[in-house]
Amino acid sequence: MDLAIRNATIVDGTGSPRYSGDVGVMDGRIVEIGKVGGRAREEIDAHGAVVSPGFIDCHTHYDAQVCWDPMLSPSVYHGVTTVLAGNCGFTLAPLSGRKEDFDYLIGMLSTVEGMPIASLEAAVKAEWQGFGEMLDHLDGKSAINMAFMVGHCAIRRAVMGERAVGEEASEADLAAMDALLRKSLGEGGMGFSTSTSVSHNDHLGNPVPSRFASEEELLTFCRAVRDYPGTWLEIVPGVGPFDEKDYERLT
């Protein structure tokens, strides 16, 4: 074995009771669980510690933090090995290439997720435009597995510019946004995220762009996701008790 983790309390994720044992690793893969014989190139005595599969955190906002914290330390400290970012419609791609649009997304993110604007401005640079370009930029820079959804606010801002706040999309806007979402999903986006919640306002005190979307706009993007098997939908419908309109929309 390349690695043997000895005397661990093993919780294997199957629902079975925890048990004591070893875990053997060869060529980066777990190949033996229970009693690992012989000596491995590396031995770890895990007595008193739990060894388990990594946890998946399906709701994070690491889109910016990964630029200055490649360890994604809050997750690593808690045994998380895979994170899904780009939730609630707040992402840093796709971009239009216009500085004012990038500045808006950074300012919005600082407010809705409580991130210091100075940290964002210092660490996050608009070195990409398309969604795939962002993924390429971040590839290999994170200590754990990351996947990103495509955020509604970024899509709206990229296509509609300043009109993303305050206006419903025209037919031309909707067609362009639908095409941009599909392109982003094809480049590796793991789904579509949005928010209709009254709790989400930007740094200027206005509702975030996704809150100006019509029902047809939301459903158009859901149809796009349907055409890409294995992708996700994530929506923040509001705070407090949901009403019948929320239930109908989610259904």
Span 119-175, pLDDT tens digits? 999 999 989 999 999 999 999 999 999 999 999 999 999 999 999 999 999 999 999
Neighbours of 108 (CB within 10 A): 24
Neighbours of 240 (CB within 10 A): 8
Q: What does the alpha-carbon distance between residue 137 and residue 128 come to, in Å, rounded to a whole number?
A: 7
8-state DSSP, 229? T
Establish how many alpha carbons lie within 13 A of residue 227's alpha carbon, considering only the half-sphere containing its beta carbon.
Answer: 13
SS3 call for 180: helix
Query: In the structure, what pLDDT confidence band is assigned to residue 49 with cuts at 50, 70 and 90?
Result: very high
Residue 64's nearest CA partner among 133, 138, 156 is 138
Give the pLDDT confidence score for residue 241 in this predicted structure: 84
Q: Are 32 and 24 in contact (CB under 8 A)?
A: yes
Give the pLDDT confidence score for residue 82 in this predicted structure: 96
More confident residue, 105 or 242: 105
Q: Which residue has the tokens 């630029």?
A: 67
> 185 CB contacts (<8 Å, ≥6 apart)?
150, 191, 192, 224, 225, 228, 231
> 75 CB contacts (<8 Å, ≥6 apart)?
57, 60, 62, 83, 144
Residue 204 has pLDDT above 80, yes or no: yes
Give the pLDDT confidence score for residue 211 in this predicted structure: 97
Average pLDDT over residues 182-187: 98
SS3 call for 111: helix
SS3 call for 250: helix
Q: Are 83 and 72 in contact (CB under 8 A)?
A: yes
| The amino acid at 24 | G
Give the pLDDT confidence score for residue 240 in this predicted structure: 77
Query: 0.95 exceeded by the pTM?
Result: no
Average pLDDT, the chain: 95
What's the CA dihedral at 180, 184, 187, 188 to 10 degrees? -170
Q: What does the alpha-carbon distance between residue 231 and residue 149 come to, in Å, rounded to a whole number?
A: 9
Q: Which two tokens stand for residue 34?
A: 């229970």
Query: In the structure, what pLDDT confidence band is assigned to residue 243 with cuts at 50, 70 and 90?
Result: confident
Q: What does the alpha-carbon distance between residue 235 and residue 151 come to, in Å, rounded to a whole number?
A: 10
Residues in the chain: 251
Query: In the structure, what pLDDT confidence band is assigned to residue 235 with cuts at 50, 70 and 90?
Result: very high
| 90-100 residue pLDDT tens | 999 999 999 99
Residue 178 has pLDDT above 80, yes or no: yes
* Dihedral sign, Cα of residue 59, residue 61, residue 67, residue 69: negative
